[in-house]
């Protein structure tokens, strides 16, 4: 078990109180209406959460993957949808720019993103390039002092509302000739082509984006041309560690709700929690969750120490995503007919958890990454 510092315990307490007050009461409503909790999202800025890995120079509190994962777990337990949008903003956009952007780009974009006055998104996945990210076809061609982007991106979290987007595009003929660009929503040629409807995480806006001769100033190239694969991989690794916190939060919510229900519900004159089969399900859920927490937080600590093996995040994400989905199914089974009803939250927990097995790399891709590391 991790020996949390006084500062980390304070962070946990502060975020827990925020999640209980601002996220939990609206979690069901934003799922039902397929909208998002924008007010709570922007309020996170006052706690420093929107710049959790960013230095104070840009308004952040510069903590590590360990603290970011802890925040993901706490928020994810209250509302996984809002937490997914939070991850896309803080890790995929803000942290990405903090690590890879130039000083002038940081000065221009980070303060507003950290303050919550601007919303961020990262655009990598394409209709024909999901698991095979390097198979992307969106292109950027240099013309004078601008780059012209042509193509489309899909499944982009926060895409429908983002003010600033980190966009990956092909800039050469080689498979790894990928570059990173900062695109503002008002750039000519950029538009949100479609808002997507989903099975779960319905309180997190997801969109398809179009780049039709989109004009991007050359000053918005992040780093050098054709050298962004390392940016992508490093950021994906941290994403997979921290997104595992959301899976932990969902699984904890499932266990808590199922445990409470089993203690209150009776069948044949006996509380459900007195039946051995129910005890077995709850015990398995608790054990799997404990194992997931041990794996994820040890990996987060290793990441903060500078360990960057790609299997680090892959193992976390694979184990916890499966565990959270199974926890959702078990919770539904324990509640029986009530678990299948929309008025109870466990069916939402399960729908939200299923995305964890797909987004940020499918379970199948995680297994491939882990196996490759073993071969090395």
CA distances from 366 to 91, 140, 289, 376 (A): 19, 29, 19, 16
57 is catalytic: no
Total residue length of the chain: 376
The distance between the two most distant Cα atoms of the chain, rounded to a whole number of Å, is 79
Q: Which two tokens stand for residue 50?
A: 């929107």
Give the end-to-end CA distance of the chain in Å, rounded to a whole number: 30
Contact yes or no for 249/24 (Cβ under 8 A): no
List the structure tokens of 284.
Answer: 């398995």
- H helix or E strand, kind and range, residue 304: helix 276-304
* Beta-strand runs (E) in the chain: 120-123, 139-143, 146-157, 164-170, 178-184, 190-195, 206-217, 221-222, 266-267, 270-271
Q: How far is CA 185 from CA 158, 160, 215, 254, 263, in A?
A: 12, 10, 11, 38, 51
Buried b (16+ CB within 10 A) or exposed e, 238-275: bbbbbbbbbbbbbbbbbbebbbebbeeeeeeeeebbee
CA-angle at 136, arms to 373 and 84, nearest 5°? 70
Rounded CA gap, 178 and 164, in Å?
19
CB neighbours (10 Å) of residue 136? 21
Give the integer Cα–Cα distance in Å for 315 and 365.
11
Name the active-site residue from 22, 239, 330, 347: 239
Q: Residue 360 and residue 237: Cα distance in Å, rounded?
A: 9
Give the span between the Cα atoms of 260 and 255, in whole angstroms.
8
DSSP-based three-state secondary structure for 147: strand
Active site residues: 239
């Amino acid at each position: 078990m991790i020996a949390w510092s006084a500062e980390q315990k304070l962070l946990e307490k502060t975020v827990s109180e925020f999640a209980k007050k601002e996220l939990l009461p609206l979690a069901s409503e934003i799922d039902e209406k397929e909208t998002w909790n924008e007010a709570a999202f922007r309020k996170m800025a006052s706690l420093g959460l929107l710049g959790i890995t960013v230095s104070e120079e840009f308004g952040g509190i510069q903590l590590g993957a360990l603290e970011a994962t802890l925040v993901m777990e706490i928020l994810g337990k209250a509302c996984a949808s809002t937490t997914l949008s939070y991850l896309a903003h803080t890790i995929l956009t803000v942290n990405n720019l903090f690590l890879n952007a130039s000083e002038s780009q940081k000065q221009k974009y980070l303060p507003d993103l950290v303050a919550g006055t601007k919303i961020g998104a990262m655009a990598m996945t394409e209709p024909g390039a999901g698991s095979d990210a390097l198979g992307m076809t969106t292109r950027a061609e240099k013309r004078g002092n601008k780059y012209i982007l042509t193509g489309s991106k899909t499944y982009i979290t926060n895409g429908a509302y983002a003010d600033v987007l980190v966009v990956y595009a092909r800039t050469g003929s080689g498979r790894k000739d990928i570059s990173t660009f900062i695109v503002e929503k008002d750039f000519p040629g950029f538009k949100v082509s479609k808002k997507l409807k989903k099975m779960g995480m319905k309180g997190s806006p997801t969109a398809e984006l179009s780049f039709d001769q989109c004009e991007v100033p050359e000053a918005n190239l992040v780093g050098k041309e054709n050298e962004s694969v390392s940016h992508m991989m490093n950021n994906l690794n941290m994403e997979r560690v921290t997104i595992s916190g959301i899976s932990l939060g969902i699984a904890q919510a499932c266990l808590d709700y199922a445990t409470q229900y089993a203690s209150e519900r009776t069948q044949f004159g006996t509380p459900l929690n007195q039946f051995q089969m129910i005890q077995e399900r709850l015990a398995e859920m608790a054990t799997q969750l404990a194992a997931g927490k041990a794996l994820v937080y040890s990996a987060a600590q290793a990441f903060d120490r500078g360990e960057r093996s790609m299997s680090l995040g892959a193992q976390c994400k694979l184990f916890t995503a499966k565990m959270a989905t199974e926890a959702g199914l078990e919770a539904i089974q324990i509640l029986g007919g009530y678990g299948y009803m929309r008025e109870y939250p466990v069916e939402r927990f399960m729908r939200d958890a299923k995305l964890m097995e797909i987004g940020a790399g499918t379970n199948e891709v995680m297994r491939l990454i882990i196996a490759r590391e073993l071969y090395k």
